[in-house]
Structure 1
Amino acid sequence: MSAQTQRLAVMAAVLVAIAIGFHVLTGSFLTAENLYNIAQQTAVVGIVASGMALIIVARQIDLAVGSLLGAVGVLMAWLQYTQGWPVGASLLAGLAFALLIGLFQGWLSAVVGIPSFVVTLGGLVSLRGVAFLVADGKTQPVSEPWLLALGGGLDGSLGERGSWLLGIVLVAVLWGWQVVQRRALVRAGGTPGDARHEWIKGGLAVLAVFGTVAVFNAYKIEGMEQGQGLPLPLVIWVVVVLVLGFVAKHTRFGRYVYAIGGNPDAARLAGIPVKRVMIQLNLLLAALVALAAVVAMARLNAGTNSMGTGMELTVIAAAVIGGVSLAGGSGSVGGTVLGALIIQSIDSGLLLTDVGIGWRMVVLGQVLVAAVVFDRVAHK
């Protein structure tokens, strides 16, 4: 078992321990309703954290993601509510704005040579101002039904039948990909791993997917005959993680990112277009922030200039807790799922135990410190 796998196993055990501990204290943490809410609440952070993982792997950082999310969300809602734009056009405008900011910040960092910490720290402040200026600080409501469904809620889920169908498809994809990888390794002359380990991994995947579907199908809103099933924010998050996980492990771009994070100078001497890859990384993260802004706006039924406030630290913490090394060069996109769930589970558990907002902020801040300490110890 690799060091990365061992670390993820430890984080999974920590998540289980947190869930059991809070359930013992409250008696309601492991209910279907609470787990459904945690999944919805974590999706926005998880979407951005999946992109932040690759940024940190490449030895960069982005402190502006929260402010960019707020600016994009307000812009899209303002175009719909105040300017009367069609929903699709407003979403494209928000994406274009996010990509423009990502391109600008990537250019300053990769081409001009300004440290990404400085560039994005300036963006954190400036973009929060932009979020206020777009709509003069006023909340901009949105009402398009299909858009609101993306944020979850009563109509924002797949239902029981759709959830089971998606679960079966996901398991088939995961198992099929295992078989493809094993056969490719054999064709390349390599020695495949123990088949029993493969069966165990496949069995755990089935247990995780079908267990999740069963729990969410068990959550029924009063007056509804069918269970809610998988919430759409969770589905979007899972798709993002699977796509980025594939990109990181099985594409040239992903190999370039890890090579740059391992040793930027060696990567440059090896002919890797470091500047271009760094700009592409910033564009990728900006697109994910725009997607997260759509989900956040749909959850709030409005765009507000306070959207995403403080989210940058939560996103970074989720990536680090999930196994991404701050030293660069190692980590996985999938690990951010565990990191994001751990943070949200702690926050939700403290809320259920009636801990005040002040103490919750203290605890979450120290969780970030503990994650960095754990990263340093594991790195040594």
Structure 2
Amino acid sequence: MNAQTQRLAVMAAVLVAIAIGFHVLTGSFLTAENLYNIAQQTAVVGIVASGMALIIVARQIDLAVGSLLGAVGVLMAWLQYTQGWSVGASLLAGLAFALVAGMFQGWLSAVIGIPSFVVTLGGLVSFRGAAFLIADGKTQPVTEPWLLALGGGLDGSLGERGSWLLGVALVAVLWGWQVTQRRAQLRAGGVPGDAKHELIKSGLAALAVFGSVAVFNAYKIEGMEQGQGLPLPLVIWVAVVLVLGFIAKHTRFGRYVYAIGGNPDAARLAGIPVRRVLIQLNLLLAALVALAAVVAMARLNAGTNSMGTGMELTVIAAAVIGGVSLAGGSGSVGGTVLGALIIQSIDSGLLLTDVSIGWRMVVLGQVLVAAVVFDRVVQK
């Protein structure tokens, strides 16, 4: 078991301990309803954190993701409600706005050479201002049923049958990919991993998937005969993590990102187009922010200028807690899932124990500090 796997195992154990501890204190933390709500609430942060992981791996940072999410969400809602645009056109406009913002920030950082911290710090303030200017500070409601379903709620889930079908399909894909990788290693003359270890990993993956499906199917809204099943925000989040995880591990672009994070100068001398890769990374994160803005807007049934406030720190904390090193060059997209769930579980548990918002902010801030300290200890 390598260091990265060991760190993820520790984080998984921490998550389990947090859940059990809060359930002992409240008696309601591990209920199907609360776990369903945590999954929905974590999805927006998780989607952005998966992209932030690659940004940090490449020794960059983005402090503007929360403000950009707010600006994009308000823009899409404003175009629908005030300007009368169709839903599809407004979503494309929001995506275009995010991509232009990502291109601009990436160009300033990668080409002009301004540190990403400074560039995105300016973006944090500017995009929040843009969120106010777009709709004059007014909340913009959205009413399209299929769009609202993307945020979860009564109609925003797959239901029991759909959830089981997706769970079986996901496990089949994970197992099939593992077998394919093992055969590829054998054909290449490499030494595959220990078969017993891989079987344990496969079993744990299946247990996690089917266990999640069973829990979410057990959550029934009053008056409904069937369980809710997997919420759509969670499905979107899982899809994003799987796609980005594949890109990070099995594509040239992913190898370039890790090479740049390990040593940017050596990567440049090796012929890696560092500037282009960094701009592409910013565009990828911008697209994920636009997707997260759609989910957040659907959850709120509106676009507000306060969407995403303070989210940048939560996203960075989720990536660091999930094993991404602030020094760059190491970490995984999958680890952000654990990081995001740990943060949301702590917040939800403190809320259930009637801890005030002030103390919750204090605790979550110190969780970020603890994650950085843990990262430094691991590096040493």
| TM-score interval, smaller chain | over 0.9
Deviation at 1:116, TM superposition (A): 0.1
Any unmatched runs of 5+ in structure 2?
none
In 1, Cα distance between the equivalents of 2:126 and 2:139?
A: 19
Counterparts of 1:5-84 in structure 2 under 5 Å? 5-84=5-84
In 2, Cα distance between the equivalents of 1:327 and 1:33?
A: 39
The equivalent of 1:368 in structure 2 is 368
Any unmatched runs of 5+ in structure 1?
none
Deviations 1:308-363 (A, max 9, x none): 00000000000000000000000000000000000000000000000000000000
Deviation at 1:192, TM superposition (A): 1.2
3-state SS, counterpart of residue 330 of structure 1: coil
Counterparts of 1:292-311 in structure 2 under 5 Å? 292-311=292-311
In 1, Cα distance between the equivalents of 2:148 and 2:35?
A: 21
Deviation at 1:256, TM superposition (A): 0.1
Deviation at 1:18, TM superposition (A): 0.1
3-state SS, counterpart of residue 180 of structure 2: helix
The equivalent of 1:187 in structure 2 is 187
3-state SS, counterpart of residue 171 of structure 2: helix
Deviation at 1:97, TM superposition (A): 0.2
In 1, Cα distance between the equivalents of 2:188 and 2:3?
A: 25
Deviations 1:28-67 (A, max 9, x none): 0000000000000000000000000000000000000000
Deviation at 1:286, TM superposition (A): 0.0
In 2, Cα distance between the equivalents of 1:121 and 1:170?
A: 39
3-state SS, counterpart of residue 43 of structure 1: helix
Deviations 1:75-125 (A, max 9, x none): 000000000000000000000000000000000000000000000000000
Q: TM-score, with normalisation over the residues of structure 2?
A: 1.00
In 2, Cα distance between the equivalents of 1:340 and 1:207?
A: 20
Identity of aligned residues (%): 93
In 1, Cα distance between the equivalents of 2:192 and 2:63?
A: 41
3-state SS, counterpart of residue 292 of structure 1: helix
3-state SS, counterpart of residue 29 of structure 2: coil
Counterparts of 1:281-292 in structure 2 under 5 Å? 281-292=281-292
In 2, Cα distance between the equivalents of 1:193 and 1:346?
A: 35
In 2, Cα distance between the equivalents of 1:121 and 1:198?
A: 43
Deviation at 1:69, TM superposition (A): 0.0
Deviations 1:147-203 (A, max 9, x none): 000000000000000000000000000000000000000011011122111111111
Deviations 1:265-308 (A, max 9, x none): 00000000000000000000000000000000000000000000
In 1, Cα distance between the equivalents of 2:202 and 2:216?
A: 21
3-state SS, counterpart of residue 60 of structure 1: coil
3-state SS, counterpart of residue 143 of structure 1: coil
Deviations 1:251-273 (A, max 9, x none): 00000000000000000000000
In 2, Cα distance between the equivalents of 1:319 and 1:359?
A: 23
In 2, Cα distance between the equivalents of 1:193 and 1:125?
A: 48
In 1, Cα distance between the equivalents of 2:203 and 2:127?
A: 45
In 1, Cα distance between the equivalents of 2:279 and 2:286?
A: 11
In 2, Cα distance between the equivalents of 1:217 and 1:54?
A: 33
Count of aligned pairs: 380
Q: Find runs of 4+ consecutive structure 1 residues off by over 3 angstroms.
A: none
Cα RMSD (Å) of the superposition?
0.3
In 1, Cα distance between the equivalents of 2:191 and 2:53?
A: 30
Counterparts of 1:314-329 in structure 2 under 5 Å? 314-329=314-329
In 2, Cα distance between the equivalents of 1:314 and 1:195?
A: 37
In 2, Cα distance between the equivalents of 1:62 and 1:185?
A: 36
In 2, Cα distance between the equivalents of 1:182 and 1:43?
A: 32
Deviation at 1:244, TM superposition (A): 0.0
In 2, Cα distance between the equivalents of 1:270 and 1:101?
A: 30
Deviation at 1:129, TM superposition (A): 0.2
In 2, Cα distance between the equivalents of 1:167 and 1:190?
A: 32
In 2, Cα distance between the equivalents of 1:259 and 1:115?
A: 19
3-state SS, counterpart of residue 182 of structure 1: helix
